[in-house]
Structure 1
Amino acid sequence: MPSPLLPRAVFAMDPVHLPLLFPPALMARLKLTSELDPALVVRDFTDPAAAEVLARTEVLITGWGCPHLDADVLAAAPRLRAVLHAAGSVRSLVGDALWKHGVTVSSAVTGNALPVAEYTLAMILLAGKDAFTHRERFRTTHAYPTHAETAAIGNVGRRIGVIGASRVGRRLLELLRPFDFTVLLHDPYVSVAEAADLGAELLSLEDLLRHSDIVSLHAPDIPETYRMLDRERLALIRDGGVLINTSRGALVDPEALSDELVSGRLHAVLDVTEPEPLPAGSPLYHLPNVFLTPHIAGSLGNELERLGRIVVEELERVVTGGALVHEVRHADLARVA
C-alpha cells in the first residue's frame, strides 16, 4: 500500500493509451510513488462519480484524449499542484486558470521528438536517393533505371534545410551529423554561433529555401508561422526540390503547395496536411512525387513507453521535491509547440 504521505494521482486521458504508456513495470513504479488507482481514468471533471477522488488529487497524469484543463478542473481538484502530460504539446490542453493558480506543468514532448526526428532522417535519406520516384517507376516498367536516370541522385553533399531549431529540429540536427550533408538552418531565436554548434549554417528563410535540396519543417504552429511557406516562398525551392513536413499543415499554404506538386515541379513527404486528413478527392493521394503518411511520425506503438517513462521519472521528482526536468513554463508557450 502506498504511504499516505504520497500524493494522490489520477489519470486523465483516453484509457486506450494506458497499456502502452505504462506497461506493468512502469505502472508499478507509479503505484510506489503515488496513491493511484490504475482502473480510474477521468474523462469528465464534472462527473459526480469522480468527485471524491478529485477532491484529494494533487497530480494529474494526462495524455491524448484529456479534456481541456481550466477553471472546472481547479473547482473539482482544489489541491492540484502538478500536471504531468504523457504526450506532446500542452498549448491547447492547459488553460489560463491553471497557469494563474501556479500549477506545475510537465510534458513528455522531448520523448516524442525522437521518433519524429528518426522518421525525418529516414525520409531525407530516401528522398536523396529519389527512392519514391524509382519505386513508382519500377511498379510499371519492371526495369532498372539507366545511368542517366540515376546521375542526379545520392546523399553526398546533399543540402538539407532545417526550418526551426525546435526539440524535433535539434534532434534531427544531431542525427544528421554522421552523414555527408551540408546542413542549413533557419530559426529567428538562434544565433550564428549556436547554429554552428548545432552543426548548421544559419540563413534567412528565403536563402535557406533557395539553397536547399531538401527542406524539412520543424517550426511551431503559432500565429507567426501560419502559412510561413506561402506561394512566393515555395517558388524559391529549386526545381525537383523536396519538402518534408512533420510539423503542422498550417505552416504551408495548401493551395500553393498543391499547385507546385500537381505541376510536378516539387516533391513532398507529408505526414501532416491541412486539412487533416485531406479530402478524398485530393490529387495528392495519387501523385507519384508525393509520399503521404497518416500522421505517424510521432510516438506510436512501443514508442509510447518512452513517454510514460518520462512521466514516471517526473512524478518521482515531484515526490522527492526535485526540480522537474521537463517542466513547461507559461512564458515559453508563445514560441514553442
Structure 2
Amino acid sequence: MSLADGPLSAPAPAAPLKVALAMAPDVAARIFPPSRLAALGEGLELLSPEPLSSFDTPLAQALLPQVEVLLTGWGAPLLTEEVLARAPKLRFALHAAGSVKEHITDAVWDRGIQVSTAAEANSIPVAEYTLAMILLANKCVLQLASQLQDGRAAMDPEALFPGMGNFGKTVGLVGASRIGRRVIELLRPFDVTVLVADPFLSPAGAAGLGVELVELDELVAAADVVSVHAPDLPETHHLLNEARIEAMRPGATFINTARGALVDQAALARRIGRGDLYAVLDVTTPWVLDAGDPLYGHPNVVLTPHIAGSLGVELGRLASYALQEARRAAAGLPLRYPVTARELARSA
C-alpha cells in the first residue's frame, strides 16, 4: 500500500444493539422508570419506552423485527417459536427478576438466544428477610410481641421461654440454593450451628461452606429453626410432608420464603394448631389464603404477603443487574449471570 492510496480509516463503530422491554406495564414503571432508561448506556438503543406486555399488538409487530435485546420482567409474554420467527435478530433475553420459567421456552434454546437472570440480585433481600426472621424467632420476639398484644405487659420472658436466644442454636436450611448459600454467609457472624440438606451438595462442598450436610429427616428433627430454600419442582412437591412436619422439635420455628407447594400446608396447620410449632410464611398455597383459613390470626404464625423478594427500592438492584448484562452484551463480553436449559430444569 502506498501513500497514494490514502490514509487508513478507523473502523466504524459497531451499531448500537436495539433494545425493547417485555413485561407488565406496571412492572416496567417500577423497575425501569424514565430516569433509569435514560441511563441505558453506550452501545444500546431503546426502541420504545413502552413495554411489550403482549407480542400480538401493533407495537410488537413494529419492534420484533428490529429487536436484538429484550429486557424482560414479571409478566413478560411467552417467547414461543412463532414469536421468535418474527424476531429474527433477537440474541439476548435479559431478565430483571428471578425465575425465567414463565416466559422462556425450548424455542429460545433452539435459537441459541442467550438468557440471563437477576436472580442473584433477588436473592439478597430474601436472604436478609430470612436472617432477620431466624434471629427474631430464636429470640422469641414474635411470640412475645403476640403476647404483649393481649395486654400481658407484666410478663416474665425467661419464664415463658427459658430457651430464648441465638447462642448455640441449630439452624436447618433445606437447600443450598443461591438463596440458601447467601443465608449461610449471613449466618457466619453468629454462634449457631448450620445444617443443610441438599441432594446436590457434596460433603466437600458442605465443608467449603462451613456447614454440616445431613439428610432432611435428621435436619427437621434437630433444628431450632427450619428454613426452606429449595426449588418448586415436581419432585419437591410436599417435600415437607406430614411426617417431617411432625418430626420438628417442640418450640421450633418453620420459615418458608420459597414456594407453598413444597409444604403439606394442611399438616402444617394441624401441627401449629397444637400450639408447639411456630411458622413464618411469606408464601402459601394458594398465594392468598381463603377466608377463614386457620393460619389467619393464629398467635404462632406470622404471615407476610410475599415480600421477601425485591420490592420498593430493591427493584433498582434488579434493574442494575439487567442493565449491566445489556452493557456487557453491547461490549461483546460474556454475560455474568447466564441461564442454561440444564440449569433451568432444576431451578426455581
Amino acid at match of 1:285: Y
| Matching residue's letter, 2:226 | V
- Matched with 2:143 is 133
Deviations 1:26-50 (A, max 9, x none): 4233253311045221111121233
TM, length-normalised to structure 2: 0.93
Partners of 1:23 and 1:305 within 8 A in 2: no
Superposed, 1:235-274 pairs within 5 Å as 235-274=246-285
Q: Does 1:97 align with 2:129?
A: no
Is it true that 1:204 corresponds to 2:215 in the alignment?
Answer: yes
Cα distance between partner residues in 2 of 1:16 and 1:4: 33
Match for residue 233 of structure 1? Answer: 244
Summarize the alignment of residues 51-90 of structure 1 with structure 2, pairs less than 5 Å apart: 51-90=61-100
Indicate the structure with greater helix content: 1
| Cα-to-partner distance string for 1:137-164 (whole Å, 9 max, x where unaligned) | 1112222325322311110011000010
Contact residue 18 and residue 47 of structure 2 kept, 8 A: no
Q: Which runs of 4+ in 1 moved over 4 A?
A: none
Are residue 194 (structure 1) and residue 205 (structure 2) matched?
Answer: yes
In structure 2, what is the Cα distance between the partners aligned to 1:84 and 1:49?
20
1:179 counterpart = 2:190: yes
Q: Kindly provide the CA deviation profile for residues 107-145 of structure 1, in whole angstroms up to 9, marking residues without a partner as x.
A: 000000000000000000000011111111111222232
Task: Tell me if structure 1 keeps the 8 A contact 2:43–2:331.
Answer: no
Q: Which sits farther off after the overlay, 124-133 or 3-12? A: 3-12
Structure 1: runs of 5 or more not aligned: none
Structure 1 CA distance for aligned equivalents of residues 323 and 204 of structure 2: 36
Using the aligned pairs only, state the percent identity.
48
1:5 aligns with 2:24: no
Say whether the 8 Å CA contact 1:45–1:72 is kept in structure 2. no
Match of 1:218 among 223, 229, 238: 229
SS of residue in 1 equivalent to 2:82: helix
Q: What amino acid sits opposite 1:269 in the alignment?
A: V
Q: 1:25 to 1:178 in 2, by over 3 A?
A: farther
Superposed displacement of residue 67, structure 1: 1.1
Amino acid in structure 1 at the alignment position of 2:238: R
How many residue pairs align between the two structures?
335
**1:7/1:59 contact within 8 Å kept:** yes
| 2:154 matches 1:124 | no
After TM superposition, the score normalised by the length of structure 1 is 0.96
Give structure 2 stretches of 5+ with no counterpart: 1-12
1:36 to 46, 51, 55: 46
Which residue type is aligned with residue 191 of structure 1? Answer: S
Rounded Cα–Cα distance in structure 2 between residues aligned with 1:22 and 1:4: 25
Q: Say whether the 8 Å CA contact 2:260–2:286 is kept in structure 1.
A: yes
Q: Deviations over 1:153-178 (max 9, x none)?
A: 11001100001011100110000000
- Once the two structures are TM-superposed, the CA of residue 8 in structure 1 deviates from its matched residue by 1.0
Instruction: Give the distance between the partners of 2:101 and 2:277, measured in 1 at CA.
Output: 32
CA drift of 1:4 comes to: 7.3
Report the CA distance between 1:302 and its aligned residue: 0.5
**Residue from 313, 320, 323 that aligns with 1:312:** 323
Shift of 1:320: 1.1
**C-alpha contact 1:29 1:312 (8 A) present in aligned 2:** no
Aligned to 2:308: 297
Greater radius of gyration (CA): 2
